[in-house]
Structure 1
Amino acid sequence: MRLALWQGTSPAADIDTACAEAEAALTAASALGAAALVLPEIWLPGYNQPNIPARALPLDSPPLRRLAAAARHHSTALVTGYAERDGDRLYNSAACFGPDGALLCNYRKVQLYGPREQALFTAGDRLPIFRIGEETVAILICYDVEFAPHVKSIADRGATVILCPTANMLPFTHVADHAVPAMAANHGLAIAYANYCGTEGDLTYTGRSTIAGPHGEILARAGETPALLVADLPRRDPARLSTQSADLKVL
């Protein structure tokens, strides 16, 4: 599988700009042969925007339908983070539209980070897996991917790729540099970690979006400015894959 991710600055609640930027990234990713493109956490309307309850979108909203149509037009799967409204509840969600524009997964973040997220959102309670092409795929969002039990659960059910929208901010540079590659190596799967760059309100994002392979190798890494990353996932080598999950002793 060839994977792409977009590292950009926050669209700052300009939904048309957010969709247009996603469409431009899809155009480039498709031209380069990527099977899927990952956007950052809460790309719609932006992770650290004020008044998130008023800006949250239902899954069937026009902006998400627009992105589904773009995925179909480019025959490229798309994962976008968004603030989801479902009745009276808000979720920190990520929708994956397949290359035919159909909804493959709507994932709701399980591990809400810090008091702001915990006050705004309801936590998700499922770790679904699904298929893109020949790969078994899961979505985790930002803080989720730092929890080994969640990554183990996904890997034990056959996932080979995690698509991870994130809004990782300073000073937590260790997550992209060390935690993500270690999770990939320890559980034998690839992780595409799509972050913001620049500033948004009182947050400065680390950038450093990363595509890590199943043996812990860094396949692509961004700096601190906008970037489109594209990388081919290597064939998984059984001789190099971690056996931690099978070997684990529960005390």
Structure 2
Amino acid sequence: MLKLALWQGAGVANDHAATLSEVERIVSDAAASGAGLIVFPEGYLTGYHIPGLTAADLSDVEAALARVGRIAADNAISVVMGSHVLSNEGVRNAAVIFSSTGEELGRYYKRLLFGPWEKETFTPGRHVTRFEVGGLNVGVLICYDVEFPELVREEAQAGADLVVVPTALMAPHDRIARQLVPVRAMENQLFLGYANRTGTEHGLDFVGLSSINGPNGETLASAEADQKLLFADLDPDLLRRERAENSYLEDLDRND
């Protein structure tokens, strides 16, 4: 069984060192509570909405990410960190995955970019990123990606037991967190962890409403608007029971 932790909050604006201090505190708290994986929101390390963001603004991000890897190793917990990064193709909106030994397992780049600012700023991703932790197969999406049923179904068909979603959902779009996210878990019969930001940033008000959802759409843990560390135990037997009773994926395959 995997204990999943989500952090709902924001980093310290324009201060990677202070943000990393917060990461160290939060990761330590999650590990002390028995979590095997913790997920941070979209753009947590760098800030999410940064008008005029350029490659030069990200010159120290790799050093900061290396520190996140050491924090993961020090606490023997896997970490998914939201951060803007540089790639050979340009600036990316990423989720960077670290194992419990601090090894970087991969980087997922947001595929569906939301609104004019994201489309002007980031190069979209084209590939999936998956990893294994605590006996569960884990897929990764970022924020707007989860609003497309095709992307979550792709993860389910590839054998994902859990999809984690670093997020920066802003007002007035709270219906996504309240209504759509639990349905994505239910219709694909998997666990889904949705880790949103809080507070305000350059004119955007983030709604919080992070949640961990189970394979029949039940909410296992949730938050409102304040900073919060969420936990839920993800039991593989629950997945097996739900899928055995009425498997959407198997029935879909039989109809092809």
Change in CA separation of 1:237 and 1:160 when aligned onto 2, cut-off 3 Å:
closer
Partner SS for 2:5 = strand
Retained in 2: the 8 A contact 1:13–1:44? no
Counterpart in 2 of 1:219? Answer: 220
Q: What is the letter of the counterpart of residue 242 of structure 2?
A: R
Distance 1:146 1:77 in 2: 25
Counterpart in 2 of 1:147? Answer: 148
Distance 1:58 1:153 in 2: 34
The C-alpha deviation readout for 1:118-161, integer Å capped at 9, x for no partner, is 11011100112221130101110001111111111111111101
Change in CA separation of 1:164 and 1:98 when aligned onto 2, cut-off 3 Å:
same
Once the two structures are overlaid, the 10-residue window that deviates more, 140-149 or 126-135, is 126-135
Retained in 1: the 8 A contact 2:9–2:228? yes
Partner SS for 2:159 = coil
Counterpart in 1 of 2:135? Answer: 134
Counterpart in 2 of 1:108? Answer: 109
Once the two structures are overlaid, the 10-residue window that deviates more, 45-54 or 186-195, is 45-54
Counterpart in 2 of 1:188? Answer: 189
Matches within 5 A, 1:1-251: 1-53=2-54, 54-56=56-58, 61-87=62-88, 89-234=90-235, 235-241=237-243, 243-248=247-252
Identity of aligned residues (%): 36
> What's the offset of the Cα at 1:188?
1.1
> What's the offset of the Cα at 1:86?
1.6
Retained in 2: the 8 A contact 1:45–1:55? no
Once the two structures are overlaid, the 10-residue window that deviates more, 49-58 or 85-94, is 49-58
Change in CA separation of 1:93 and 1:63 when aligned onto 2, cut-off 3 Å:
same
Distance 2:139 2:59 in 1: 22
Q: TM-score, normalised by structure 1?
A: 0.94
Partner SS for 1:138 = strand
Q: What is the letter of the counterpart of residue 72 of structure 2?
A: A
> What's the offset of the Cα at 1:44?
2.3
Change in CA separation of 1:106 and 1:177 when aligned onto 2, cut-off 3 Å:
same
Partner SS for 2:19 = helix
Retained in 1: the 8 A contact 2:41–2:195? yes
> What's the offset of the Cα at 1:52?
2.1
Q: What is the letter of the counterpart of residue 40 of structure 1?
A: P
Q: TM-score, normalised by structure 2?
A: 0.92
Q: Say what the alpha-carbon RMSD is for the aligned residues.
A: 1.8
Q: Which segments of 5 or more consecutive residues in structure 1 lack a partner in the other structure? A: none
What is the total number of aligned residue pairs between the two structures?
A: 250
Q: Which segments of 5 or more consecutive residues in structure 2 lack a partner in the other structure? A: none
Change in CA separation of 1:34 and 1:154 when aligned onto 2, cut-off 3 Å:
same
Partner SS for 1:4 = strand
